[in-house]
Structure 1
Amino acid sequence: MKDTNQNFFYAVKLDEECKFKSALWVDARCRASYEYYGDAVSVDSTYSTNKHGLPFVSFVGVNHHGKSILIGCALLGNEEIPSYELVFSQWVKYMGTALQHLYDDRRMWVPIYFKDEFWASIRSTRRSESMHTFYGGYLHSKTNLEQRELEDDAADSRGVIPCATTSRMEKQFQQKYTMSILWDVQTEFVKKANCKVFVVDEHGPLVCVKVEEEILVNDTILCVLYDVQYDPST
């Protein structure tokens, strides 16, 4: 691969006895994808092991269509911390960026701490599961990882989805976002019609709002009450 594409990067680590420790490979497409969509990265080692029992690791991002993209692959000798550190350090070296001590920052492994961070909708296991489906159905020696994104781009070029509301905010999304993302945005705008705001109080900088949401369950409308607190300073 390196002979045919100088932008293909790989690193193989051996131990003192010249036994395999880890391997990482990243092609030019992965690096370009990271430069565009590297806001959040999922590192997953749950897909499969090969016949030698080596865990397969994928670095996964999210593109402008909300779809998973591959931005690196690795094989680990084992799932001990040093194996991950080797792979992370090599991946960072090639990408030319820092992961802010991802493995050492223990709080990043606790879901409650995700609430104030931007993760491009990849904080749940669903992102990994979607990649598992991709691997199982398509990954082989002649896999074309660009095809799915090109198809999505082609679909976008054929026109835009009409706005579902008269909101100026939705209009802005329509002009700037891809159709895949706009569908998600419209779902939220439509849900907004089920919510009624009926009490607003201000306590200093804090705005307190009571919101009643109507939910249809088995042909019965249930009303769920929410107390929403908004602090403009944060």
Structure 2
Amino acid sequence: MRELNLQFYFDIDLDDDNRIRHVFWADARSRVAWDSFADVLCFDTTYLTNKYDMPFAPFIGVNHHGQSILLGCGLLSSEDTDASVWLFESWLCCMSHRPPQGIVTYQCRAIKNVVEVVFPKARCLWHIMKKISENLHGYTQYKDMKRYLKFVVYESTNVDVFMSSWGNFISEYQLCNNVWLNKLFEERARWVPCYLKRFFWADMFTTQRSESMNAFFDGYINSMTCLQQFVHQFDNALQHKAELVCEVDFASLNKVIPCSSQSTIERRFQVEYTHAKFNEVQAEFRGKMNCAVNNFFVDRHTCRFNVMEESFRDGQTNHSN
């Protein structure tokens, strides 16, 4: 593959008996993509382990259409710190030593240590929701607890709201002695979105990006795919992915989504943004119609009012700040 394209990059780590321990590779498209989208990296090795017991380790990013893109991947013979350091250093070398601003990964002390070594200036965001089942499934109210915990984590608009909601969650289910939750709370600045929202995460607050990329590879590779087949099928999957990107690129360049208002701001986004991102902007513009103002107060020095979002669900009108 290197002979076919000089920009194809690979690195192989061998043991003392000249046997493969770890492999990393990235095609030219991945390397070029990092030049434009070097903001946030998502890393997750929990998707697939092949018949050689080598976990599949993809590096995932996001492009200007909001699509998941592959930025290289590896096969590891182990998941210890040394193996992860080797993989991350190989990836960094491949990407011209340009580290990400932030990395989203699963809760793992070894990965945390590796990020601090290889990407010392990058922000690290843990995805802990995969651990809920493992740590809370033994409780009789597990389903309610999981739903409540997700609400606390993702619906807390600021730190004060999170602290209050977390306290209510712990009290409601009498979890003050749960070691896992207590440890999570101590390190809340690493995984609770409201602590990290001042940074740019490209809408990658969880490892859902890795999961969607893993779903993309389904039908091409599986746990029984041998290494030779793996490389071939992997290349086929990437080719299909590239075709999908070309299709949305073409649509964004040659078709126009009409504006939903007379706003010059919306019109500017219409010109500059891809269709996928402009649709998100339009959703925000439509959301302005649902704003209700109350508690208007004026005195000599102050003009204050409270803006609430009005929504209609299950026959009921609801207001939220």
- The TM-score normalised by the length of structure 1 is 0.85
The 5 A counterparts of 1:141-220 are 141-143=235-237, 144=239, 145-198=241-294, 210-220=306-316
* More deviation, 104-113/183-192: 104-113
Which sections of structure 2, spanning at least 5 residues, go unmatched? 102-112, 127-189, 222-232
Q: Which residue of 1 aligns with 2:13?
A: 13
- Letter paired with 1:176: E
The 5 A counterparts of 1:22-61 are 22-61=22-61
Give RMSD over aligned pairs: 2.5
CA contact 1:197–1:209 (8 Å) conserved in 2: yes
CA contact 2:40–2:100 (8 Å) conserved in 1: no
For residues 154 and 71 of structure 1, the distance between their equivalents in structure 2, rounded to whole angstroms, comes to 22
Q: Which residue of 2 aligns with 1:70?
A: 70
CA contact 1:92–1:99 (8 Å) conserved in 2: no
Q: Which residue of 1 aligns with 2:212?
A: 130
Q: Which residue of 1 aligns with 2:182?
A: none
CA contact 2:55–2:78 (8 Å) conserved in 1: yes
- Letter paired with 2:215: T
Q: Which residue of 2 aligns with 1:111?
A: 191
For residues 208 and 102 of structure 1, the distance between their equivalents in structure 2, rounded to whole angstroms, comes to 48
For residues 64 and 200 of structure 1, the distance between their equivalents in structure 2, rounded to whole angstroms, comes to 40
| CA 188–89 in structure 1, closer or farther in 2 if over 3 Å, else same | same
- Letter paired with 1:98: P
* More deviation, 108-117/177-186: 108-117
Listed one character per residue, the Cα deviations across residues 181-218 of structure 1 (whole Å, up to 9, x for unaligned) are 1111111211121112445789xxxx975222211111
- Letter paired with 2:42: S
For residues 125 and 114 of structure 1, the distance between their equivalents in structure 2, rounded to whole angstroms, comes to 15
Q: Give the deviation of 1:57 after TM superposition.
A: 0.8
Q: Give the deviation of 1:107 after TM superposition.
A: 6.7
Which sections of structure 1, spanning at least 5 residues, go unmatched? 227-234
Determine what percentage of the aligned residue pairs are the same residue. 35
CA contact 1:24–1:72 (8 Å) conserved in 2: yes
- Letter paired with 1:123: F
For residues 157 and 99 of structure 1, the distance between their equivalents in structure 2, rounded to whole angstroms, comes to 28
Which structure: greater helix fraction?
2
* More deviation, 179-188/133-142: 133-142
- Letter paired with 2:236: K
- Letter paired with 1:179: H
CA contact 2:27–2:72 (8 Å) conserved in 1: yes
Q: Give the deviation of 1:10 after TM superposition.
A: 0.4
Q: Give the deviation of 1:117 after TM superposition.
A: 1.4
CA contact 2:58–2:70 (8 Å) conserved in 1: yes
- Letter paired with 1:31: R
Local SS of the residue matching 2:40: coil
Listed one character per residue, the Cα deviations across residues 150-204 of structure 1 (whole Å, up to 9, x for unaligned) are 01012113321111122222211111000011111111211121112445789xx
- Letter paired with 1:126: Q
Q: Which residue of 2 aligns with 1:121?
A: 203
For residues 169 and 15 of structure 1, the distance between their equivalents in structure 2, rounded to whole angstroms, comes to 59
For residues 43 and 178 of structure 1, the distance between their equivalents in structure 2, rounded to whole angstroms, comes to 26
Q: How many residues align?
A: 221
CA contact 2:37–2:61 (8 Å) conserved in 1: yes
- Letter paired with 1:94: C
For residues 185 and 65 of structure 1, the distance between their equivalents in structure 2, rounded to whole angstroms, comes to 13
For residues 18 and 305 of structure 2, the distance between their equivalents in structure 1, rounded to whole angstroms, comes to 64
| CA 59–210 in structure 1, closer or farther in 2 if over 3 Å, else same | same
For residues 82 and 14 of structure 1, the distance between their equivalents in structure 2, rounded to whole angstroms, comes to 13
Local SS of the residue matching 2:218: helix
For residues 219 and 4 of structure 2, the distance between their equivalents in structure 1, rounded to whole angstroms, comes to 27
For residues 59 and 13 of structure 2, the distance between their equivalents in structure 1, rounded to whole angstroms, comes to 18
Local SS of the residue matching 1:116: coil
Which structure: greater strand fraction?
1
